[in-house]
Amino acid sequence: MRRFSLTSLLSESMRGHTGWGRQWRAPEPKPRYDVVIVGGGGHGLATAYYLATVHGITNVAVLEKGWIGGGNTGRNTTIIRSNYLYDESAALYEHALKLWEGLSQELNYNVMFSQRGVLMLAHNIHDVQSFKRHVYANRLNGIDNEWLSKEECKEFCPPIDISSHLRYPVLGGALQRRAGTARHDAVAWGYARGADARGVDIIQNCEVTGIRRDASGTAIGVETNRGYIGAGRIGVVAAGHTSTVMNMAGVSMPLESYPLQALVSEPVKPIFPCVVMSNAVHAYISQSDKGELVIGAGTDQYTSYSQQGGLHITTHTLDAICEVFPQFTRMRMLRSWGGIVDVTPDRSPIIGKTPVQNLFVNCGWGTGGFKATPGSGHVFAHTLATGTPHAINAPFSLDRFRTGRLIDEAAAAAVAH
């Protein structure tokens, strides 16, 4: 891997940038690997990277049925925050946020992490009480979060309308200043580049069609459209298709898959300085580096594996945006898209072992997967390497749905699931 630096950039600029090589190889699958990761999104690539860098395990394959970053990693609204209510969630997302803060330097790749702040708006007394509870809980966990009056919200984000005549008037908001956004494609590419440089095989267009188990029931490899690949351990990180992949090993997962839509406007000059989220009106918005307003909503109301959602969801979301930001009513939308999110009953992820020996899973992130990418990969790599959960992901076991020790972030989330 050729490192990026001022010297290398200046050198290449003198010859038309013709000397850059491929960012990662395109290897053929080996007959067997120590670890096979099913899913080449951000979480899967981060897992492979930390297996190599932290645990010294480099005989690893990442199998992706499409192309790197073509799934949910490239279909989200790129919001990063750690202001979750419960201790377990706060620890996991704060771990991720701390890794985000040094990720560009770690990967030698600009992931365009921008700590512009995330502001969650309160529109009624319940919102005020709920977000203040968030603020107090976060402070107890050493996580930055502060309450702003509606005037302070307006000062922090001038486009917000704080008029009292609105259907959903703004009463205040909870602000995490360290939160922000990153470039989703760059995250996938940076992790892929770093993992490949350490010997990990990233195999695109390689769809897993089965999981092979021996006579004792232990998972020993995967069947793919490019042949059988043996594995010491298998990690499934397939987002909305996790339940389908796990069914191949006879494991039924407590997951439902829903379409989640987003859209962007035509580009305009810088006008929106932060990320604003509102559960009451079901919308969240930020501005990309290209000038587009990036807008997202809650999940569709039906289960589906389609990457397209219902039109009424996007129109409702735009109604909400125009309610809070009336100056955007004349903006034209440029494009929309959808992803497939996997949702658990308690809206918290599953990271750890499964009933099948040597088969591990990382799933159930719902609408919050991108923000957890570094932390998720870091703790899942530990779990795969050692066979035991990291202290941070131990509460997120599959077994919690049997014991009843749920982490119910459904009511604590910033947007509807």
What pLDDT, in 10s, does the model give residues 202-215? 999 999 999 999 99
Tell me the mean pLDDT in the region 243-253. 96
CB distance 41 to 237 below 8 Å: yes
Taking 70 as the threshold, does the pLDDT of residue 414 lie above it?
no
Q: Report residue 301 as tokens.
A: 């109301």
Tell me the mean pLDDT in the region 111-139. 95
- Tell me the Cα Rg of the chain: 21
Taking 70 as the threshold, does the pLDDT of residue 384 lie above it?
yes
Local confidence band at 128 (pLDDT 50, 70, 90 cut-offs): very high
223 DSSP β-pair partners: 210, 228
202 DSSP β-pair partners: 62
CB distance 343 to 417 below 8 Å: yes
pLDDT of residue 96: 98
Local confidence band at 412 (pLDDT 50, 70, 90 cut-offs): low
Tell me the mean pLDDT in the region 41-47. 97
pLDDT of residue 312: 86
Q: Rounded to whole angstroms, how far apart are CA atoms 377 and 395?
A: 16
The per-residue pLDDT of the chain, averaged, comes to: 93
340 DSSP β-pair partners: 259
Nearest-CA neighbor of 267 among 241, 293, 247, 304? 293
Q: Rounded to whole angstroms, how far apart are CA atoms 74 and 196?
A: 20
Q: Is the dihedral of CA 111, 257, 363, 196 positive or negative?
A: negative
Q: Backbone dihedral region of 174: left (phi > 0), alpha (psi from -120 to 50 degrees) or beta?
A: beta
User: E-strand spans in 201-255?
Assistant: 201-203, 208-213, 219-224, 227-236
Tell me the mean pLDDT in the region 252-274. 94
In the chain, the N- to C-terminal Cα span, in Å, equals 40
At 275-309, the pLDDT tens digits run 999 988 878 999 999 999 999 988 888 898 888 87
Architecture of domain 30-82+84-109+184-254+346-403: 3-Layer(bba) Sandwich (3.50)
At 50-69, the pLDDT tens digits run 999 999 999 999 999 999 98
Taking 80 as the threshold, does the pLDDT of residue 415 lie above it?
no
Taking 60 as the threshold, does the pLDDT of residue 367 lie above it?
yes
Local confidence band at 310 (pLDDT 50, 70, 90 cut-offs): confident
Q: Where are the alpha helices (DSSP H) in 54-170?
A: 87-101, 103-107, 125-140, 150-156
- Please tell me the pTM assigned to this model: 0.95
pLDDT of residue 308: 80
Mean pLDDT is lowest, of 90-94, 149-153, 256-260, 359-363, for 256-260
- Contacts of 65 by beta carbon, 8 Å cutoff, 6+ apart: 205, 206, 207, 208
Local confidence band at 417 (pLDDT 50, 70, 90 cut-offs): very low
pLDDT of residue 323: 87
Give the domain ranges of the chain: 30-82+84-109+184-254+346-403, 115-178+257-343
Tell me the mean pLDDT in the region 153-159. 96
Q: Rounded to whole angstroms, how far apart are CA atoms 381 and 392?
A: 12
pLDDT of residue 165: 87
pLDDT of residue 79: 95
The CATH number given to 115-178+257-343 is 3.30.9.10
